[in-house]
Structure 1
Amino acid sequence: MQLDVMTLPQPLGQIGELARQTQAAGFSGLLFTEGGRTAYLNAAIASQAAPGLELSTGVAVAFPRSPFVTAATAWELQEATGGRFRLGIGTQVRTHIVRRYGADFDHPGPRLRDYVLAVKACFAAFRSGKLGHHGDFYDLDFITPQWSPGPIEAADPKVDVAAVNPWMLRMAGEVADGVHVHPLGEPGYLARHVVPKVAEGAQKAGRSPSDIAVIVPAMTIVGDNDEERHNERQFVRASMSFYGSTPNYAFIWDEAGFEGTTARIREKQKAGDFAGMAAQITDEHLAAFATESTWDELADKLIGKYGGVASRVVLYNALGAPERFERYGEIARQIQSSQSR
């Protein structure tokens, strides 16, 4: 189990220093979750600033970019990192794809499955000079030497997909190299859905479930006294209410024993009451969906919660005060040390 840091892409002049700090602190990697800035440009800067640091997009939006464009970008990043880049992609939601990006969104699950296969076909074409992918959504069969980046020494980039519902999790196990679990992915959800559904997909494709990386974001509330943990509790409440407002994710709350949480959050959201949204996340929600501990207990708690399930745990809220970031880095070193014994 590796411990990574999650960040929104930063201004390009700042990301190099963050990459160096992440590597020096002891984390395994840096994960860029795409927002208003592009994940790929940040990854490119980080690859040069901190050689040896593992980098991934977690996740970049797929559909507004053609599979060939995404594949070529990932190929260059894989070369720049010496084989330490993972391509993480996701569908986003219809409103963003159609109204913000102006791209197609129909049949997002099957479209993403075809997209992954098309990206992998492009990787093969960069080595062989022959492109041949004929899917339900993407039909690619033309490449010339001048429009190919050509072979690289590193292996093909791993392709991970964001998945929440059972169909998407099975699809990830069938065609992807890893799955990005939703930030609301508490241990019960991992056991009920992620592990068995990914295994079903892998077995359908004749693959071993152990070959599929499970990448889990972890929201943490850490401090040696209640006052120290208070501000992080408030941050986590706001973050959970944001993710928990999406109707498609309501079943995660419901199955964990918090029925109606999404409906209550959306009622406040429609009224523009952001403080009210966060207030719907109770201490009981935090206990189930976040990891709260003292600093001395955190490494053991993360191993106990995610060990044997997660290939990579991504700290959702490690960034902040420098001294806290350094302490999170110490946790990363402890986890790595405990697993090497």
Structure 2
Amino acid sequence: MHVDVMTTPQPLQAIGDLARQTHDAGFDGMLFTETGRTPYMNAALAAQAAPGLELSTGVAVAFPRSPFVTAATAWELQEATGGNFRLGLGTQVRTHVVRRYGVEFERPGPRLRDYVLAVKACFTAFRTGKLDHRGDFYSLDFITPQWSAGPIDAPDPKVDVAAVNPWMLRMAGEVADGVHVHPLGEPGYIARHVMPNLAEGAAKSGRTADDIAVIVPVMTIVGDTDEERHHEREMVRASMSFYGSTPNYAFIWDEAGFEGTTARIREKQKAGDYKGMAAQITDEHIATFATESTWDGLADALVDKYGDTATRLVLYNALADMERFERYGEVAQRIRAR
């Protein structure tokens, strides 16, 4: 099981030092999740600063970029990393895609499926000079040598997708190389939804669930005293309330025994009461959806919870406290050695 650090993209002048620190601390890689800054330039600079570090977008927003542009960018990063880049894609939500990016969002699941296939067709075109993808949303059939990135001495980049609901998970199993599980993806949800739906989708393309990487972000609360753990516990509470405000994720709370959590969070959100949003996340929520431990016990706790399902663990909040970052790296090394 590989262990990565999750980060939002940083100012470009800062990312080289952070990549070197991540490598030296003992993590396998970095996962860049797109927010106000784009992930691709961060990945490029990290590749130069810390050769050997595994880098991925987790996730980059798909629809505002053409599949060809995304494929070409991933291709260059795969070359720069010597084959250590994974392209993680997601739909985002309608409001962001339509009102911030100014592009279409109709039928986002089927559109993302077609997008993934179009990206993979571009990879083939870079090697063969022939581009031929005809889907419901994207039709790509023209390429000339001067507009092709050309072959590289590395395999095609792996393409992963973010998926939450059963249809998206089956789609990931069918056409993608991996799935980014949602940060609220506790072990029960993974067992009920992720693994069986991945297996069903994989069977459509002659594969098994073992062929699909399961990338799981984990929220951790770690320290040897409750006082030490208190700060991280409150950060996790706030993060969970943010994710828990999205209606599409309500079923995850409900099935775990916390019915109505999303509705209560949204009521506070509409009133602009952010402290009230966090207050809807009880200690019982945290015990189910996060991993709390001493430093010595954290590696075992994470392996016990996710060792049977996760291909890659992504430490969600390891960078929140740089004084503790190296200790998280030691945990990553212990997990990898298991």
Quickly name the TM-score band, shorter chain normalised.
Answer: over 0.9
Q: How does 1:40-51 map to 2 (within 5 A)?
A: 40-51=40-51
Match of 1:102 in 2: 102
Match of 1:9 in 2: 9
Q: How big is each residue's C-alpha offset from its partner over 1:164-223, in whole Å with a ceiling of 9 and x where there is no partner?
A: 000000000000000000000000000000000000000121112111000000000000
Q: How does 1:262-281 map to 2 (within 5 A)?
A: 262-281=262-281
Letter in 1 for 2:26: G
Q: How does 1:56-67 map to 2 (within 5 A)?
A: 56-67=56-67
Match of 2:319 in 1: 319
Matches of 1:210 and 1:333, distance apart in 2: 23
**Is 1:39 equivalent to 2:39 in the alignment?**
yes
Gaps of 5+ in 2: none
Match of 2:155 in 1: 155
Q: How big is each residue's C-alpha offset from its partner over 1:256-289, in whole Å with a ceiling of 9 and x where there is no partner?
A: 0000000000000000000000000000000000
Letter in 2 for 1:263: A
Letter in 2 for 1:335: I
Secondary structure of the corresponding residue to residue 65 of structure 2: coil
Letter in 2 for 1:76: E
**Is 1:330 equivalent to 2:330 in the alignment?**
yes
Match of 2:250 in 1: 250
Secondary structure of the corresponding residue to residue 106 of structure 1: coil
Q: What TM-score, normalized to structure 1?
A: 0.99
Letter in 2 for 1:58: G
Match of 2:143 in 1: 143
Match of 1:198 in 2: 198
Q: How big is each residue's C-alpha offset from its partner over 1:292-339, in whole Å with a ceiling of 9 and x where there is no partner?
A: 00001000000000002000000000013333100000001111122x
Match of 1:234 in 2: 234
Letter in 1 for 2:51: P
Q: How does 1:171-210 map to 2 (within 5 A)?
A: 171-210=171-210
Greater shift, 61-70 or 315-324, is seen at 315-324
Gaps of 5+ in 1: none
Number of residue pairs aligned between Structure 1 and Structure 2: 338
Letter in 1 for 2:323: E
Q: How does 1:71-82 map to 2 (within 5 A)?
A: 71-82=71-82
Match of 2:292 in 1: 292
Q: How does 1:13-28 map to 2 (within 5 A)?
A: 13-28=13-28
Matches of 2:314 and 2:230, distance apart in 1: 22
Secondary structure of the corresponding residue to residue 48 of structure 1: helix
Q: How big is each residue's C-alpha offset from its partner over 1:218-247, in whole Å with a ceiling of 9 and x where there is no partner?
A: 000000000001110110000000000000
Greater shift, 312-321 or 114-123, is seen at 312-321
Secondary structure of the corresponding residue to residue 319 of structure 1: helix
Match of 2:282 in 1: 282
Letter in 2 for 1:276: G
Match of 1:304 in 2: 304
Q: What TM-score, normalized to structure 2?
A: 0.99
Matches of 2:18 and 2:160, distance apart in 1: 24
